[in-house]
Chain A
Amino acid sequence: MLLDTNWTLKWLTLCAQAMAGHRMELIELDRAIGDSDHGENMDRGFQAVLEKLAEAPPETPGAALKLAAMTLMSKVGGAAGPLYGTAFLRAATALGDATEIDSAAWAAALAAGRDGIVARGKAETGDKTMVDAWTPAVDAARAAVDAGAPDVLTILVAAAEAAEAGAAATDPLVARKGRASYLGERSAGHRDPGAASSALIFRAAVGAAA
């Protein structure tokens, strides 16, 4: 199969459902090492994305991701708004006007999204941020493409599993970027909320293709 506009719309819808369903869990994670607003902001942001998509349904995957990007940037606030907004915008730009996306194009779009997050947030792997979910996901998608995985679903699953493992791997880390970094050593022992919400987004991509 190839990824198309319907898949993209379904993905964003499942993202919104995931953020609503995990709202309190993300708030709790953020309460431990941040300021308790991540679940609330992501839920509000993705609900706004759904409203925008309903107003003017986009015609290509890239257009849908661009609309999501602009909405997240203007509705989420905090660090997550600009970071997710930049990720979706860079991915949208990488996809261009294509109406159907193959494995290689999707892996490249994910890499572009991750590069956008790194450029904006200046975080590196191991800083206990969303980058720790995105980079393993990008690497896993790339590796699956290089290994000749023909099915795009395989790529999506590989990315989701890597993102989830990456998010879990932030538990023992000491934060070096974002608000959790003020806690120093006390940030260890908690999952990074941004990595957790990123893993939800990658998992929703699988659900949209199922």
Chain B
Amino acid sequence: MKKLINDPRSVVGESVAGFGLAHADLVSVNADPAFITRKDAPVAGKVGLLSGGGSGHEPLHAGFVGRGMLDAAVPGAVFTSPTPDQILPATMAVDSGAGVVHIVKNYTGDVLNFETAGELAEAEGIRVRTVLVNDDVAVEDSLYTAGRRGVAGTLLVEKIAGAAAERGDDLDTVAGIGERVNLNVRTMGVALSACTVPHAGTPSFDLAGDEIEIGIGIHGEPGRHRIAMENADGITDRLLEPVLSDLKIEAGEQVLLFVNGMGGTPLSELYIVYRRAAQVLVDHGAVVARSLVGNYVTALEMQGCSISVLRLNDELTALWDAPVHTAALRWGA
């Protein structure tokens, strides 16, 4: 294992410290317990927006803290949910009295820890609403699993709910908009290689040189099935088909197309995937009204990508276009 680290046990702390130094104009970092808040938090009268999860998905979530998006991010250990003793003080730090929305990816650990923290916050007199993100279509039978996972669609929920909070919507409205984004986005991912968790030291799963893993999550866990390597267009078609059939996109509908890298795939390849995905959507009769391409919701150095499609309407498009100023996403501000 070759990694640019000093000690596997200090990876998250040192990375968060560097993030805080690099973006001191945007964020404040609390070292222990670890959480990152928007520099001017709490913003008077504004609903607070907090997300968190295991580390290793950077820039998610800390990279999206700032005006028009998150008020706080809570990083856990690598691929491990943060704990209530972090989530509670972060929630208190961004509550202006208007309440706080927790955006939680649907993984058992995240759900349990945020549930506990939410109860503790309510006991402190803070109103908390939770938006559970579960955009991953790879999980087919949710009756016999922990349910669909929250993956790249989380970024879209954070951006759009963040814009709603920024324009002054109240707690229930912001949470409702977050839920509407979640209901209208679907994602499917592929891994060309596994990733190595620093403290484990070996790749999170074994993949032969000519194999790819379809239907992966973002924690280095294996996916649904394994197939022989194909070309970019073939893989794109495989990822997009279940997304479109699950979302039931009809001709004439406007969509946002998001091609997300898993961390180890160059942008040039992500654009090759985007090119094919956009063509398939057009053939399908959809209108690709907005797009995003890049490494945003990653799994360390994993090679691969995910494709997300979000069904838009005028309000969601306007909220997507609203100004945002964070370390990893910035426009109009």
Contacts and interface: CB of A to CB of B under 8 A. Distances in A.
A182 B221 contact: yes
Interface stretch (B175-183, B200-208, B250-258): B200-208
B85 interface: yes
A176 B79 CA distance: 20
B63 interface: no
B83 A182 contact: no
Interface string B275-309: 00000000000000000000000000000000000
B197 A74 contact: no
Contact of A78 (B80, B149, B222): B80
Interface in B78-104: 78-85
Interface stretch (B108-116, B124-132, B239-247): B108-116
Given A121-B112, A186-B222, A77 B145 contact: no
Interface in B200-230: 200, 202, 204-205, 217, 219-224
A76 interface: yes
Contact of B82 (A27, A77, A79, A178): A77
A35 B84 contact: no
B77 A73 contact: no
Nearest to A41: B80
B145 A35 contact: no
Contact of B109 (A27, A75, A80, A175): A80
A83 interface: yes
B137 interface: no
B139 interface: yes
Nearest to B204: A36
A80 B199 CA distance: 17
A113 interface: no
A176 B83 CA distance: 24
A107 to B, nearest CB: 26
B202 A181 contact: no
Contacts of B197: 35-37
Interface in B154-205: 197, 199-200, 202, 204-205
Given A81-B83, A179-B108, A73 B222 contact: no
Classify the interface of chain A: helix, strand, loop or mixed: helix
Contacts of B224: 182-184
A177 B108 CA distance: 8
A179 B219 contact: yes
B200 A31 contact: yes
Given A35-B79, A36-B200, A78-B81, A182 B116 contact: no
Interface residues of A, number: 32
A74 B77 CA distance: 12
Interface in B18-55: 54
A44 B77 CA distance: 11
A78 B109 contact: yes
Contacts of A61: none
B79 A37 contact: yes
A176 B145 contact: yes
Nearest to B82: A77
Interface of B: 54, 76-85, 107-109, 112-113, 115-116, 138-139, 141, 144-146, 149, 197, 199-200, 202, 204-205, 217, 219-224
17 contacts: A27-B199, A35-B220, A36-B200, A36-B220, A37-B197, A37-B199, A77-B54, A77-B113, A78-B108, A78-B109, A81-B112, A82-B113, A82-B115, A179-B108, A179-B219, A182-B145, A184-B145
Interface of A: 27, 31, 34-37, 40-41, 44, 73-83, 120-121, 175-179, 181-184, 186
Among all A-B residue pairs, the 7 with the closest Cβ atoms: A78-B109, A74-B85, A181-B145, A82-B112, A79-B109, A36-B200, A77-B80
